Structure 1
């Protein structure tokens, strides 16, 4: 080997740099452990909410040392912030936290650009586009244009009541064609999404989470946000989804409108029949008419049994009064809020209002602390439903404490806002009126102006805030409002205790797999196996060092990728050692055999790793989250294993041989294994075709009849991983949750131990928002309460505890729209990998028959894996859902199968060129026989690794590992009995055709 000094230099430098990078991870862990111990010392577990307080104490301590020097390396000094920035990032599944995909509402942006027009064609096109989106791969904007073009008639996008508005004047004029307007609107939509992205980024920066990740996903208006380590998930999701639509409205006095409530109550009596009247109705038509009237009145709100059966539809729901002279009309329960708004906004009730109050706007306040009561306000509205003053004028916002010690938010307005604010407060002072401060349609406070007009643009919002609520509100006001609503269409919430369990199980599987591989190499190859082990350990160091240096996120599938890389990296050493053994058997001198062995193995090593690398690259491009982490580690592992196998192992072997040492490349037990084998594989190909055909037909039959256990990634829905104190029956839980008064339809599966269930439901899958998520969790807890004795709802949903053992451990949500996109991306990932590999093999081997054989084997392997999953998912004791991780497994199987096949094809090509007098069938049989030792050795090593992860790894990746185990077994079989025979038959058929034509 030439340039040994250069290889040594690179090896030393790479090793030192990796150690340097990893040192920051060790130091950061040490500091954070110290912060945790300090918090435990200061806050005993006897204190109320001690976990939340400890978390806050840890954060305060780490913030206090953020700019302090905490780490010295030589003369270099690093602050905690610098150490943390250089430390390896742990993914959501290892650290716990929140991963969401937000959909910025392009529909809202379009409405805003059109100045909330009432144009019927425009609004119909918006509704039609929403319907198209359910089964479309287009962006919302593309579907809106399609929908508008279908119904527009003579209406133009540049009409004065659509996009030719004062705000867009100068960019759009009345003479522009629809195509020209579409370009402008496309640009404005993109600007709005960029604005939303920046607003969210600022909010996240203010939130103070370590190693956050936020990125745009294409042009669809989707934004990915990853917050590893965040414990208060409710606070984080509220921060992300809050539009921060701040408005200032004049408010009516409560006593002014209480008589109106009495009149509304009387009118509603005539519409909402009592239970007694309903029971007296004998006519089915009359019942239908009554129900129809109630449904029309309540709109989308669920019909509350109390409301429908009530003698006084409004008064029976009142739970308290406001104070005299104040702005509160009455107090109601939070659950009745939507019903009340539908009552008050119905045309029958609003017809009671006098002309001067025609545009009144009803709104509710924040729920009172430790209560489900909310205040009802009547705001002074106007024809355009536009507030006198909006939050756009706010230039700064800070959390502070009032003279009474309560948290509040102070604001500073610009000059224009300050002038309007002075006028508003002056008028309110003169009339002793109230000004309501409304954020996202919730009244936070409605104080009476008692000190005269407020000049200078300073004001404050009080609303019985906690400190965190005041901090978050100030942050969102400072960052600015979102240009449109942001709905969570995919979310993954992992509790910190589950993350710690994943670290423990991942580490255990990693160490066991590593030890088994190290021992196997020594057992099979003797002393040279030790050199292989040294190279492998360096390989692992380099992988972790590079991950840390790149700032990559380490996930549980990422650990699986590293462990799989260890198993597959053995392949390169096995190829080299087997070739050296062959050269020695030919009678070559020792050093010459080593030289030729490395040289002859190089082509197979490169081809095998490139094909695997191509599939990993496609996985990286199409994958998201954990799958991308798996692909990242696999790609890095392929590069480092090539370097260590080809250069470091060679360096160690040459060093030992040059010192006079002798290497046998085997042990006493393995010396004669697989020697002088000559199996006539091609004679058995028809039997193999029959066996494979039968298995595939059975699998396809099951696929068409049983289908696959599709996870929420592909069908949409919500999944909760719930842990119980005692073992429970999955079928019993399924029955309980599928009752009409719970979810109507649900599915519970045991994951690992019998006390651990994965519960999936499509209940309200199309609806988003905190209220819906809260409703579903509440229903889930109520239904499961008999199985969760002595557990409160707060403990059930708590996501702040590092030691949580019962309740919701993880929750995952995917909307149907993004589920379609995931399915589409998965299809293209698999198809893309097949096309790329077909072209690569065609380029390398110059004959399409080789590509055909390889792709036939891949199709064979994929169909069998799918068939096995379809047949067995109903009775396997672990989850076999088809999700994004399964697609990662399929692509890995493709890569592994190709790896094996390419090695065989390389040997066939080599023998074909060396033994020109041999018949082609002899070339193929001898080639397969000569590579059998390598094929079985590599497959066995990889299987040992996968089995270690399968047995000792986390429950969440057990199905993933099972797919890989099946794939490795089938892939080894197909490289011998499918890929090569198909290639041979296609070559033979072509040769026969040529002979016939000649």
Structure 2
């Protein structure tokens, strides 16, 4: 909620507003009251005369006016935050439903403004964390060509050399250069650029320019070079063997461990860089297991700092394969997005457009021609699971604000050992009681019912296993109910057979008539139950959906075993038996 309120304020720098936010956060630690109410109390506590309308009137201009009271503003904020909370819940539910988890449980804890997510049988918790926390903020940006801004980074390096207030690691660039050199021997460092085969690192290249300063010395020491070039010792610039900047938006490469240090340096030296530049890192390293990432120069063309095209225009996204068989995500845009995309590509022919998701660059393809129709794709050495998850997130939509996991617990294997044991004991006990009852009440044919019941359980478990279902409490309840309904079908058949025997019919005739008369009664009851279960599965969520699926599969299995397996065993026993009598109860033979 804090992020949403800050966004609605336009990230206001108002001191009263920010103090109220901090005070509300402190109060929230020991309170069950919703955050909006705590914020309103804190704002009024800090300054009773302060006006919230002055802070929120621009972003909420459709709901409030400049002279609106604080109560009216709080009501508008509450409406927006409640709407954002509901959208977050719906989006997370869509993501999880498409994720393929069996019988998930997703609940809104409105009082604490949190969402409870229970996912049984998950084998990769990290994948789930990414699925839940990804905001899916897709953006398409124009880019700088590094040749245009290379001198700016030289000036930034000089500015940092004068400051001399950054800790340095003297081995960082040497190791980075060696790693990149090894990669270049196997493959191209940048797909569209020439490989540097000189074997020289950036250290060597810049040293060659500084030899006039060290003519009376054997060589400038590494420490001296780092002191004069604090930025370039951690950022390997994207230059060729002649020290000339390469084409494309890539500024340079760095180890993941050096990224925070580089970001601090560039923030300090930002006055040396273009005012409309935005520097983002790639989502993936330049090669697997290298831990080296590229820095991409984004061009901010709009006055308000927004991207040229946003992800809200995406209408469909799916995992696909490119012409080389690599995973990618293909996307379709609405009419407005297709028009902007067409104009954007037409204006950037022979230039790169960066495709950015959650502030990470996934690809920066070069535009060869104008692209119409609103179709695009994201590539970036995805695994099949990563591509499917990303397509799922994009299709479900972006979250109103980043979702943060505040509490996490793994209960193994699905419900916890104690719950599973208690549930299985009750299931086994109920199963044995049904078997004993059928045998003692229906005598010989009770064994046929018991065999059919065992077959029913076998088929039910097999289907659930093939669907990847996880045994949960609602699922166990569905299985137990299925046992009762399966026995009920056999009871109807046996009672019909008993009626025929009382009328004096023989064994074969009684069995034939019993099954015929019981067929439609069994069919009607099971089909109506299956229809109800399918509606529950379609409209319900979490435990309700799990129960409905188990019940529907169990009823289908019951129909098969009671009408086919039982009849098969009756016919088989009739063929083997020479007697014209059937042992169907302790009273009727």
TM-score category of the 2 structures, normalised to the smaller one: 0.5 to 0.7
CA distance in 1 between counterparts of 2:153 and 2:410 reads 43
1:26-425 equivalence runs, <5 A? 106-152=1-47, 154-159=49-54, 162-165=55-58, 168-273=60-165, 311=227, 312-318=229-235, 321=238, 324-346=246-268, 349-353=269-273, 357-368=274-285, 369-381=288-300, 382-425=302-345
Distance apart, 1:180 and its partner CA: 1.9
Question: 3-state DSSP class of the match of 1:329?
Answer: strand
Q: 1:371 to 1:230 in 2, by over 3 A?
A: same
* 1:697 aligned residue: none
User: Is residue 334–residue 367 contact of structure 1 (8 Å, CA) maintained in 2?
Assistant: no
* Aligned counterpart, 1:502: 417
Distance between the aligned counterparts of 1:335 and 1:139, measured in 2? 39
Q: CA deviation at 1:439?
A: 0.4
Partner Cα separation in structure 2 for residue 479 and residue 504 of structure 1:
34
Query: Which runs of at least 4 in structure 1 moved beyond 4 Å after TM superposition?
Result: 273-276, 507-511
Distance (whole Å) between structure 2 residues aligned to residue 182 and residue 326 of structure 1: 48
The answer (yes or no) to whether the contact 1:274–1:310 under 8 Å persists in 2 is: no
Structure 2 residue aligned with 1:486 = 403
Q: Which runs of 5+ in 1 are unaligned?
A: 1-105, 277-305, 515-550, 560-624, 626-998
SS in 1 for 2:112: coil
TM-superposed CA distance for 1:476, in Å, is: 0.7
- Rounded to whole Å, the distance in 1 between the matches of 2:398 and 2:81 is 16
The 2-side partners of 1:500 and 1:337 are apart by 41
Equivalence for 2:189 = none
Q: CA deviation at 1:384?
A: 2.5
- Compared with structure 1, are the counterparts of its residues 274 and 454 closer, same or farther at alpha carbon in structure 2 (3 Å cutoff)? closer
Deviation at 1:176, TM superposition (A): 2.2
Structure 2 unaligned regions, length at least 5: 169-221, 241-245, 430-469, 478-541, 543-589
Contact 2:331 2:375 in 1 (8 A): yes
Structure 1 residues 322 and 383, CA gap change in structure 2 (3 angstroms): farther
Are the counterparts in 2 of residues 254 and 322 from structure 1 also a CA contact under 8 Å? no
Q: d(CA) in 2 for partners of 1:224 and 1:274?
A: 43
The structure-2 alpha-carbon separation of the partners of 1:320 and 1:212, relative to structure 1 and needing over 3 Å to count, comes to farther
SS for the counterpart of 1:379 is: strand
What's the CA shift for 1:230? 1.3
Per the TM alignment, residue 154 of structure 1 is displaced from its structure 2 partner at its CA by: 4.1
Q: 1:456 to 1:274 in 2, by over 3 A?
A: closer
Aligned length, in residue pairs = 379
Let me know the Cα RMSD of the aligned residues: 3.8
Q: 1:554 to 1:504 in 2, by over 3 A?
A: closer
Say yes or no: does 1:442 pair with 2:357: no
CA deviations 1:504-531 (Å, max 9, x no partner) are: 99479969xx9xxxxxxxxxxxxxxxxx
Is contact 1:359-1:383 (8 Å) kept? no
Q: Given the superposition, is the C-alpha separation of residues 196 and 322 from structure 1 closer, same or farther in structure 2, using an over 3 Å criterion?
A: farther
Q: Does 1:462 align with 2:354?
A: no
Alpha-carbon contact 2:141-2:353 (below 8 Å) kept? yes
Does the CA contact (< 8 Å) of 1:322 and 1:328 recur in 2? no
Compared CA separation, residues 461 and 182, structure 1 to 2 (3 A):
same
Pick closer, same or farther for the CA change 1:501–1:490 going to 2, 3 Å. closer
State whether residues 129 and 147 of structure 1, in contact with CA within 8 Å, keep that contact through their aligned partners in structure 2: yes
Cα distance change, pair 123–454 in 1 and its aligned pair in 2 (3 A): farther
Q: Using the TM superposition, name which of 172-181 and 183-192 deviates more.
A: 172-181
> Alpha-carbon deviations, 1:53-82, whole Å to 9, x = none?
xxxxxxxxxxxxxxxxxxxxxxxxxxxxxx
Conserved 8 A contact 2:319-2:328: yes
Counterpart mapping for 1:453-602 below 5 A: 453-494=370-411, 496=413, 502=417, 506=421, 553-554=472-473
SS of aligned partner of 2:371: coil
Look up the SS of the partner of 2:408 in the other structure: strand
Q: Secondary structure at the match of 1:482?
A: coil
The secondary structure found in structure 2 opposite 1:447 is: coil
In the TM superposition, residue 195 of structure 1 has moved relative to its aligned partner by 0.5
1:715 aligned partner: none
The Cα offsets for residues 927-974 of structure 1, whole Å up to 9 and x where unpaired, read as xxxxxxxxxxxxxxxxxxxxxxxxxxxxxxxxxxxxxxxxxxxxxxxx
Q: Quick one: distance in 1 between partners of 2:127 and 2:42?
A: 38
* Residue deviations 1:618-651 (CA, integer Å, cap 9, x gap): xxxxxxx9xxxxxxxxxxxxxxxxxxxxxxxxxx
Deviations 1:391-434 (A, max 9, x none): 111111111111111111111111221121111111111xx221
Structure 1 pair 554–320 and aligned structure 2 pair: CA distance change class (3 A): farther
Q: The residue matched to 2:378 in structure 1 has which SS?
A: strand
- Map 1:691-706; keep pairs closer than 5 Å: none
Provide the C-alpha distance between the structure 1 equivalents of 2:92 and 2:130, rounded to a whole number of angstroms: 12
Secondary structure at the residue paired with 1:397? strand
Distance 1:180 1:274, change over 3 A: closer
Quote how far apart the aligned CAs of 1:273 are. 4.5
* C-alpha deviation, 1:152, in angstroms: 4.0
Distance 1:343 1:320, change over 3 A: closer
Report the structure, 1 or 2, having the larger helix content: 1
Residues 614-633 of structure 1: matches in 2 within 5 Å? none
Kept in 2: contact 1:329–1:376 (CA 8 A)? yes
Closer, same or farther in 2 for the Cα pair 1:405/1:121, shift >3 Å?
same
Q: Secondary structure at the match of 1:486?
A: coil
> Which position in structure 2 is the counterpart of 1:871?
none
* Distance in structure 1 (CA, Å) of the matches to 2:379 and 2:5: 34
CA distance in 2, matches of 1:118, 1:384: 17
1:625-774 map, 5 Å = none
SS at match of 1:421: helix
Q: Is the 8 A contact 2:21 2:39 kept in 1?
A: yes
The 1:501–1:486 alpha-carbon spacing in structure 2 relative to 1, beyond 3 Å, is closer
Indicate if the aligned counterparts of 2:235 and 2:262 stay in contact, CA closer than 8 A.
Answer: no
Q: 2: CA distance between counterparts of 1:402 and 1:191?
A: 39
